[in-house]
Amino acid sequence: MKVFVAGATGVVGQPLVKQLVEAGHEVTGLTRTDERARSIRLAGATCAICDALDAEELTSAVVKASPDVIINQLTSLPASGDQRDPEFFTRTNELRGRGGHILIEAAQAAGVKRFITQSIAFTYAREGSWVKDETAPTVSDFEGSFGESFRVMLAHEQELARAEGIEGLILRYGFFYGPGTFYAGDGATADEVRGRKFPVVGPGTGNFSFVHVDDAAAATVAAVTRGSVGIYNITDDEPAAIKDWLPVYAKALGAKPPRHVPAWLARLIAGKELTNAAIEMRGASNSKAKAELGWTLEHPTWRTGFSESLR
């Protein structure tokens, strides 16, 4: 299959391009600069260099590549990892919203039938069961920077689902860990945990679903030839409350155990959005993805995955 990967040099894009080539696909990877193109070429793929927000350039690149499948991995999160920064999601929101729209139109112009896009597995409504499948309702409160990020992501999902002539597969990824992520040994979250600046808030009940970037890439490769139109949660086997996973992650880093802080204090320091997420967020079930994509995880749980990824 001929596969076009937009965002080919990101934390998922890099292992994805490598795995696609290894699986025998003919891959074109999109990136914005020639400097970043090196990893694409080293993986054995063809490189397309252009700005994903330039409709004419992007459409030309897609038409030239004439792919059977497009994979959208467009993101640009700051390395700082500070989600209290009001501009934290700005660039990524633009890429997901306007960039995603341009990419869908480019796919239609090139006659591409299958379009796989990334999404996020922590958009489920914060009520009811603690672990959600793909049929569960998503958040409807779009206040603050988190809310805007959710609004843009869900709007892109809906646009793809309605796109004429395209089979749209939406992969809702869990929190990434592994090389290049905030949870890597040199990542922003690791620094916060070492400095004991990432506490267990209140009862610590916020439910997180993780996925190693190599497993996220493997699920995406599987979706090139398997699965039908719709949504798939791409997460590991064990959604877990922050009070359970954070001490394990701290130990894997060789850090001191996390502090515990009351919710009222966390709201004063970190704000309402982050505090509520730490208490109320829901996890996601991967049963559908494993069954329909034939996906097997190399790191089925964060319990062993954290320490394995930090060696």
pLDDT in tens, 256-276: 999 999 999 999 988 888 899
Place of tokens 């808030």: 201
Is 38 in contact with 45 (CB distance < 8 Å)?
A: no
Short-list 93, 86, 109, 108, CA closest to 53: 93
Short-list 189, 165, 160, 172, CA closest to 282: 172
What single-letter amino acid sits at 230?
Answer: G
Distance CA 97, CA 95 (A): 6
pLDDT in tens, 135-177: 999 998 877 777 888 999 999 999 999 999 999 999 999 999 9
User: Which sequence spans correspond to the domains of the chain?
Assistant: 2-181+209-237+284-298
Which residues have C-beta within 8 Å of that of residue 24, sequence separation ≥ 6? none
pLDDT in tens, 210-234: 999 999 999 999 999 999 999 999 9
Does 2-181+209-237+284-298 carry CATH code 3.40.50.720? yes
Distance CA 178, CA 182 (A): 8
Distance CA 67, CA 22 (A): 17
User: Residue 20: how many CB atoms within 10 A of its CB?
Assistant: 26
Name the pTM for this structure: 0.95
Distance CA 290, CA 183 (A): 24
Instruction: Show pLDDT as tens, one digit a residue, over the chain (311 residues).
Output: 999 999 999 999 999 999 999 999 999 999 988 888 999 999 999 999 999 999 999 999 999 999 999 999 998 876 655 665 666 678 888 989 999 999 999 999 999 999 999 999 999 999 999 999 999 999 988 777 778 889 999 999 999 999 999 999 999 999 999 999 999 999 999 999 999 999 999 999 999 999 999 999 999 999 999 999 999 999 999 999 999 999 999 999 999 999 999 999 999 988 888 899 999 999 999 999 999 999 999 999 999 999 999 98
